[in-house]
């Protein structure tokens, strides 16, 4: 079972970027932890990671993936991108939205997500564990629909 994990703009800076909000863990470590966690769910989960600072590249990746499910932290594009939302809807991929921080408890503009409505659900506020919780939920949805 292949799962695509997409991280949007500035998430390549994790570890250095506003650690009081996003934690001290860099993206490579978060990804490696997710691989280890996936093994505890099922040894046949294959994860592909993609990070980009460019909206169109994220749209292209969603359109061309052969993954069965998508975990996406669209970062700032969460609050602006009709294009990413349309791409997820357009290819009908089962997706979970992830945020490290609790976006609902921050600035007003972060309370709006263009992506939530095309996802199965959202996990926010648990720093790197948000990705693991999303994988747990997505894996069980995909497994139950096989």
- Site membership for ligand DQA, residue 7 (CB under 6 A): no
By CB under 6 A, residue 95 contacts ligand DQA: no
Q: Of 37, 77, 99, 131, which residue is the catalytic one?
A: 99
71 binds ligand DQA (CB under 6 A): no
Active site residue 99: yes
**Catalytic residue list contains 37:** no
According to the binding rule CB under 6 A, does residue 100 interact with ligand DQA? yes
Q: Which residues of 37-60 are buried (b: 16+ CB within 10 A; e: fewer)?
A: bbeeeeeebebebbbbbebeebbe
In whole angstroms, how large is the CA radius of gyration of the chain?
14
Give strand ranges (E) for the chain: 2-7, 46-51, 69-73, 94-99, 121-124
Least distance to ligand DQA, CB of residue 42, Å? 26
Q: How far is the CB of 145 from ligand DQA (least distance, A)?
A: 27
Distance CA 7, CA 27 (A): 9
Annotated catalytic residue within 22, 37, 131, 139: 22
State whether residue 105 is helix, strand or coil. Answer: helix
Residues that bind ligand DQA (CB under 6 A): 10, 73, 75-76, 78, 99-101, 103, 110
Q: Residues with catalytic annotation? A: 22, 99
């Amino acid at each position: 079972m292949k799962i695509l994990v997409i991280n949007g703009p500035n998430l390549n800076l994790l570890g250095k970027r506003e650690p009081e909000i996003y934690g001290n863990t860099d993206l490579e470590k978060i990804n490696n932890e997710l691989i280890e966690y996936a093994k505890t769910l099922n040894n046949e989960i294959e994860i592909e990671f993609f990070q980009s600072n460019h909206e169109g590249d994220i749209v292209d990746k969603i359109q061309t993936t052969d993954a069965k499910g998508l975990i996406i932290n669209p970062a700032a594009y969460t609050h602006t991108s009709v294009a990413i939302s349309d791409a997820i809807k357009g290819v009908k991929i089962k997706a979970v939205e992830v945020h490290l921080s609790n976006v609902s408890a921050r600035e007003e503009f972060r309370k709006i997500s263009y992506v939530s409505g095309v996802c199965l659900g959202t996990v926010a506020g648990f720093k790197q564990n948000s990705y693991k919780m999303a994988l747990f939920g997505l894996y069980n949805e995909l497994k139950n629909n096989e």
